[in-house]
Amino acid sequence: MNILTSFERIAEASPDKIAAADERKSYSFAGLRRTAACLGAAVAERQPEGGPVGVLVRRGADTAALFFAAIYGGCFYVPLDPDMPPHKLETILSDAGIRLVLGAEGDEATLAAAGFDGALLKLSDAAPVPAVLPEAGEDTPLYMVYTSGSTGKPKGVLKSHGAMASYIDAFLARFGLTGEEIIGNQNPFFFDAAAKDIYFMACAGATLQVIPAEKFIFPVRLMEYLNERKISYICWVPTALAIVTQLNTFKQILPQTLRHVFFVGEPFPIKQLHKWLSTLPELHYVNLYGSSELAGVCCAYEIPEGELPQALPMGKPLPNCRVFLHTETGFTTEPEVLGEVWIVSPALALEYFGDPEKTAAVFTEESLPDGSRARVLRSGDLAQYDGAGNLVFVSRKDFQIKHMGRRIELGEIESVADGLPQIARCCCLYNDGKKRIELFCQLNEGYSLEGKEIQSLLRPLLSDYMLPAKVHVLDKLPINPNGKLHRQALRELM
């Protein structure tokens, strides 16, 4: 099961079909293959086979060519956000051991600010002769995505060709999707959810349309773009879908070619989902559930006609997954009994890069209810079954959250804030009611700062989606009887 084999087959069968496009540029499948394979030859000359290649990603069709160039070069790629704070980029480059980065004009300055002294390749550096198709097995690394880490250090999750191929096969089979779809991409390419769109295109022969980010600020223009590009399938974070209905966009314009509305990454506000359903009841709506520790998703819930449930279920497993709820006393299938979600699937990630201890703690060999043993992902998500046998998400076991479609460790925000000389102690919490991150701070003696001033200090140190929306400055943070921060007492102040 090799991603390149699937992509090569599609490029042979439909060479002139549009593979990836943005507002200004498009690649046919044959053109994308040639561009990627020629740049891949340049990659192979500079990077040992099987090694990491960083890719500075932007919202455009070129990003697909850069990803596949790394793969054609016999390597795995690591998506990098060029707008992340330089110190964070430096941490990822160092942790992954990246000595080669693919990017565009002007990226030299971005890399220099992060202390990178390796090589940068651009599309103009492509070799005249395409790379020889590299061999890749099921366990060959395909890409690595960095997620927020509880210690303040991002952690790399390494995924394989076989894992992604397993997911795509199961996804297409479950929903009857084909290469006739035109995908409207919303998720940034440094965000793991975007891989669903990339490999739907590459393995099924669908067309990937990269929607300009500014369209999401003006929903009417967004709908116009969907209609102009004849987009039929979207898989967006609910925040992007909700803003369409919050601004009453459907009173001015309706999507004309859209057939499938999938969403993933965070709960969809039921009120806004209802507006989509009542206005466009003929569309196919699906709530997806997954984890950064596997390729794609493992569960899905197709929205039925009729009344919406109060809590939208995660649904039932895809054909390539087995999902269990595990309690302190064993496995459960009883409704409304809380358990941790355990996942068994060929789509599981290979490892946490360079962290065997973390890998061993999360990916474990376990006995299953049928007596067999298998490699299990302990997701850390707590869920329960409803009366129809659907899984329903309840909370996280730790302090990890999903916000704006991204999984965030609140501990990483605390770690960065603790590094400020003005702060003596802090605690970061998520306000579920207002859907925002809030930070509580106790200042060191001699400092007098307002919450907005602390936000300004944190802004260059954190990605935008991690910046606390509200900062509370307290004389002293409350402590519980065990001598730990009294988080519940702080929640009462939110």
| Secondary structure, 3-state, 349-370 | CCEECCCHHHHHHHEEEEECCC
Which pLDDT score is estimated for 411?
A: 75
Q: What percentage of the chain carries pLDDT values higher than 70? A: 97
Strand order in the sheet with 284-290: 26-28, 18-21, 207-210, 182-185, 233-236, 260-263, 284-290, 297-302, 316-317
Token pair for 82: 């060029």
The larger pLDDT score, comparing residue 370 to residue 266, is at 370
Q: Can you tell me the mean pLDDT for 253-278?
A: 91
Q: Among the listed ranges 85-99, 137-151, 243-257, which one has the minimum average pLDDT value? A: 137-151
Which pLDDT score is estimated for 476?
A: 87
Domain ranges of the chain: 3-210, 402-491
DSSP 122-137: -GGG--SSPPPPPP--
Burial letters for 475-486: b for 16+ Cβ neighbours within 10 Å, e otherwise? eebbeeeeeebe
Spatial separation of the C-alpha atoms in residues 96 and 49, rounded to whole Å: 15
What CATH fold (topology level) applies to the domain 402-491? Answer: GMP Synthetase; Chain A, domain 3 (3.30.300)
- pLDDT of residue 38 exceeding 60, the answer is yes
Q: What percentage of the chain carries pLDDT values higher than 90? A: 75
Q: Can you tell me the mean pLDDT for 361-378?
A: 95
Q: Can you tell me the mean pLDDT for 274-288?
A: 95
Q: Can you tell me the mean pLDDT for 454-463?
A: 93
- pLDDT of residue 398 exceeding 80, the answer is no
Which pLDDT score is estimated for 402?
A: 77
Per the rule left: phi > 0, alpha: psi between -120 and 50, beta: everything else, 115 is left
- pLDDT of residue 431 exceeding 80, the answer is yes
Which pLDDT score is estimated for 482?
A: 44
Q: Among the listed ranges 350-354, 401-405, 425-429, which one has the minimum average pLDDT value? A: 401-405
Which pLDDT score is estimated for 152?
A: 58
Which pLDDT score is estimated for 407?
A: 73
- pLDDT of residue 347 exceeding 90, the answer is yes
- pLDDT of residue 139 exceeding 90, the answer is yes
Q: Can you tell me the mean pLDDT for 419-431?
A: 88
The larger pLDDT score, comparing residue 101 to residue 154, is at 101
Q: Each residue of 42-99: pLDDT tens digit?
A: 999 999 999 999 999 999 999 999 999 999 999 999 999 999 899 999 999 999 999 9
| 3-state SS, residue 231 | coil
Under the banding of pLDDT at 50, 70 and 90, the label for residue 122 is: very high
Q: What is the CATH number that goes with domain 3-210?
A: 3.40.50.12780
pTM score of the predicted model: 0.84
Which pLDDT score is estimated for 483?
A: 45
Q: Among the listed ranges 65-69, 363-367, 371-375, 483-487, which one has the minimum average pLDDT value? A: 483-487
- pLDDT of residue 345 exceeding 60, the answer is yes
Which pLDDT score is estimated for 236?
A: 94
- pLDDT of residue 150 exceeding 60, the answer is no
